[in-house]
Amino acid sequence: MEIDRRSIWVLLGLKGLRPLFFLCVLLLFWYVVTMPVPAGLTPEGKNAIAIFLLCLVFWVTNVIPLAITSLFAIVLVPLLGVLPRDEVYGLFGNEAVFFILGAFILAGAVMHSGLSNRIALAIMEKSGASPKRLLISIYLLASVLSFFMSEHAVAAMLFPIVLDIAKGIGLKPGRSGYGKLLFLSLAWGCVIGGVATFLGGARVPLAVGILHETTGATIDFFTYMVAVFPLVAVMLLVGYLVLTRAFRIDVESVGKAHELLARRIHAMGKMSSNEYAVGTVLVLTIISWAIWGSTTGLATIALTSVVVLFVFRLVRWKDIEEYVNWGIILMYGGAIILGSALERSGAAYWMAEKVIGGWVTSPLTAIAIFSLFTLVLTEGISNAAVIAILLPVAIGISGRFDMDPAIVTYSIAVPAGLAFSLPLSTPANAIAVSSNYLTVRDMAKVGVLMSLTAWIVFNLAVRFYWPLVGLGS
Amino acid sequence: MKKNILIVLSTSRTTSRAIDFAVDKAKKEGSGLVALYVIDTGLTNEVFDRFTDIGFIGDKPSTRLTEAIMKEYRQRGYEEIGKVQVRAMEENIDFDAVTAQGAFVEKVIEVIESHNVSTAVVVKRKTSGFMKYFSRSVVDELVEKAPCEVVVFEEEE
């Protein structure tokens, strides 16, 4: 039995802190709900803002799980009369939610089959004994895998391999420049690759879901890739240059890592028929998303692939349950409901005008401000929460400049994934720091520079590249 | 009962100067040497929570991940303790090793009490002058609560 040795006053204070916090949030919520309706806002809009503030506080402080915060939105929106109950639960079945679900089940099947692990090991092993080539292979591998599956799942899968490599070549935790490089390249590879497609994280489908529910517009799988891929390529290059300038490669050879990878591949045996089949389903799904995504619907294709996996017994329900966190449905469903409530009640436009209306003088300044806000916020809170908070407001102001709301959606959805500086911003960063090969200071030092670069590169792409591919012109 | 010098090693804090000091002190005073390696489970729990609550990754990959981190920390612990053991053997000092998982301060105090420790040697993370005003190290808390002398070393660059 463990004895808590802290003083009774400290213990009572700590116990009382949480209820006190909830009481303060409740009072703030009550104050907004009961205050007179401000000019230009409807009573429903005012209530929507009260729910928005409540969720904002909980998402930022993370005092309760993100998914449970979303439940507040689901419960409070009909309760306060912002939207009818039927409509609220109808939004919960949004296509984006089912696309996210299908994509996570597919990724779970790929991981369970061992295919992703095999691909990762094979690519790393090909890098030979050169430290630079191994570093590049980890960086690009993390990035490319994050094009096809959740970047968080990629980080979780690659971390034990990179840890074994670091140990195998005898790197000193906290002291080796190459150790810092390995773990930062893993984290940043996932972060940058995660914004390249709809599959890297659920944030892009969430943003597209909010866009669709609030304006009727949408962004298809292929258009998104065309818009974002060059940006990803530039960020990968800049990221590599920043990392290799900041930290020195202080090892001559990584021959031992090469041997270790070869042993692991040998231990996996030959590629099984299950791996071939799951790989085929994944490839066909991605091709279908790119070709028929806009006509058939991304969710329909994703769920068809899931059905195929089960029909051919490539995966069992029990296996999938271990790889998918069902809280994701609540989180993303709730975020879409909140976004729709803000937009339909007029609260999003009202807030946009009051909060940032004075600063925004043109469409380009609007995008610059939104992308900057997003990059700063995403360093501190979950990137899905950033989208749920900022996107309805950003869409609200797009009408003032006759801007395509899809462009505004890009300016929030893409930077929301680019968190480079802090371990609390994204799981990939947290895991890199937990290795103890690098410190929070190491990450922040280069991460701030990278975030600034990301903002500049993104806004240059908006100004010069997007008009070339017919976006925002 | 023979007095002991305690050298506290942990997942994120270690320095050779502290080990040298503890070995020299034990030899000079004719005491035994106890090496304690504390594995901070708070960090692994935080990683698990980040992956499940924010990344929405299922239990299996998150559990595998935290197990990989714990395994790594344990191995590092054995290596660190091994280094101290070699030094103790070279100097012919009685040696005992303990590994513990959990909150740093509690685990150190438990060992101080159970091993009749007269001096505990710990390593403190380096913090900038500015941050010192805003953060309180667990080592500061240990100095305040420990029932014996605590010698603090700052971690090496």
Q: Is the pLDDT of residue A260 over 70?
A: yes
User: Does residue B11 belong to the interface with chain A, where contact is any CB pair within 8 Å?
Assistant: yes
Q: Is the pLDDT of residue A363 over 90?
A: no
* DSSP per-residue codes, chain B: ---EEEEEEESS---HHHHHHHHHHHHHHT-EEEEEEEE-HHHHHHHHHIIIIIS-B-HHHHHHHHHHHHHHHHHHHHHHHHHHHHHHHHTT--EEEEEEES-HHHHHHHHHHHTTEEEEEEEE----HHHHTT---HHHHHHHH-SSEEEEEEPP-
pLDDT cut 90: percent of chain A above it: 47
What chain A residue is nearest to B51 in terms of C-alpha separation? A427
The pLDDT score that the predictor gives to residue A352 is 82
Q: Is the pLDDT of residue A217 over 70?
A: yes
* DSSP per-residue codes, A376-410: HHHTTS-HHHHHHHHHHHHHHHHGGGT--HHHHHH
Residue A2 with chain B: CB contacts under 8 Å:
102, 106
Q: Is the pLDDT of residue B131 over 60?
A: no
pLDDT band at B135 (very low <50, low <70, confident <90, very high): low
Sorted by sequence, the CB contacts under 8 Å of residue A287 that are 6+ apart come out as none
Burial class (CB within 10 angstroms; exposed 0-12, middle 13-18, buried 19+) of A261: buried
- Pairwise CB contact (< 8 Å): A5 & B109: yes
Read off the amino acid at residue A112.
H
Interface probe for B, chosen from A150, A325, A387 (most Cβ of B below 10 Å), is: A325
Strand-by-strand arrangement of the B32-39 sheet: B95-101, B32-39, B4-10, B117-124, B149-154
- Find out whether B106 and B134 touch, Cβ atoms under 8 Å: no
pLDDT band at A5 (very low <50, low <70, confident <90, very high): low
Q: How far apart are CA A400 and CA A351, in angstroms?
A: 13
- Domain ranges in chain B are 4-38+82-154
- Find out whether B4 and B23 touch, Cβ atoms under 8 Å: no
The pLDDT score that the predictor gives to residue A456 is 96
Number of neighbours of residue A104 by Cβ within 10 angstroms: 27
pLDDT digits (tens, 9 = 90+) for B22-43: 999 999 999 999 999 988 777 7
The pLDDT score that the predictor gives to residue B14 is 63
Question: How close are the terminal C-alpha atoms of chain A, in Å?
Answer: 67
pLDDT digits (tens, 9 = 90+) for A388-434: 888 988 888 887 778 889 999 999 999 999 999 988 778 889 888 88
Q: Is pLDDT larger for residue A43 or for residue B135?
A: A43
- Mean pLDDT on A266-275: 91
pLDDT band at A236 (very low <50, low <70, confident <90, very high): very high
- Mean pLDDT on A36-42: 92
B/e letters for A120-157, b = 16+ CB within 10 Å, e = fewer, are bbebbbebeebbeebbbbbbbbbbbbbbbbbbbbbbbb
Q: How far apart are CA A31 and CA A35, in angstroms?
A: 6
Q: Is the pLDDT of residue A316 over 60?
A: yes
Q: How far apart are CA A409 and CA A407, in angstroms?
A: 5
Q: Which of B54, B58, B105 sits opposite A66 (nearest CB)?
A: B54
- Mean pLDDT on A50-79: 89
Read off the amino acid at residue A239.
G
Q: Which two tokens stand for residue A206?
A: 């969430």
Determine whether domain B4-38+82-154 maps to CATH 3.40.50.620. Answer: yes
- Pairwise CB contact (< 8 Å): B47 & A202: no
Q: Is the pLDDT of residue A1 over 60?
A: no
Q: How far apart are CA A350 and CA A158, in angstroms?
A: 45
How close A212 gets to chain B, by Cα (Å)?
Answer: 23
Q: How far apart are CA A246 and CA A178, in angstroms?
A: 11
The pLDDT score that the predictor gives to residue A94 is 81
- Mean pLDDT on A453-462: 94
- Mean pLDDT on B132-138: 59
Q: Is pLDDT larger for residue A17 or for residue A448?
A: A448
Classified as helix, coil or strand, A88 is: helix
pLDDT band at A123 (very low <50, low <70, confident <90, very high): confident
pLDDT cut 70: percent of chain A above it: 97
pLDDT digits (tens, 9 = 90+) for B58-79: 888 888 888 888 888 888 888 8
Q: Is the pLDDT of residue B136 over 70?
A: no
Q: Which of A2, A3, A202 sits opposite B56 (nearest CB)?
A: A202
The pLDDT score that the predictor gives to residue A2 is 47
Classified as helix, coil or strand, A65 is: coil
- Alpha carbon A258 to chain centroid distance? 32
Q: Which of A111, A159, A167 sits opposite B65 (nearest CB)?
A: A159
How close A59 gets to chain B, by Cα (Å)?
Answer: 10
- Find out whether A257 and A162 touch, Cβ atoms under 8 Å: no
Interface probe for A, chosen from B57, B69, B145 (most Cβ of A below 10 Å), is: B57
Of the given ranges (A57-66, A121-130, A406-415, B8-17), which has the lowest mean pLDDT? B8-17
Q: Name the average pLDDT for chain B.
A: 83
The pLDDT score that the predictor gives to residue A396 is 82
Q: How far apart are CA B116 and CA B30, in angstroms?
A: 14
Question: How close are the terminal C-alpha atoms of chain B, in Å?
Answer: 38
pLDDT digits (tens, 9 = 90+) for A366-392: 899 999 999 998 888 888 888 988 898
Residue A159 with chain B: CB contacts under 8 Å:
65, 68
Nearest to A119 by CA among A92, A145, A151, A86: A145
pLDDT band at B11 (very low <50, low <70, confident <90, very high): low
ipTM of the complex: 0.73
pLDDT digits (tens, 9 = 90+) for A75-92: 999 999 999 999 998 887
Number of neighbours of residue A427 by Cβ within 10 angstroms: 32
Nearest to A409 by CA among A447, A362, A374, A438: A374
Classified as helix, coil or strand, A306 is: helix
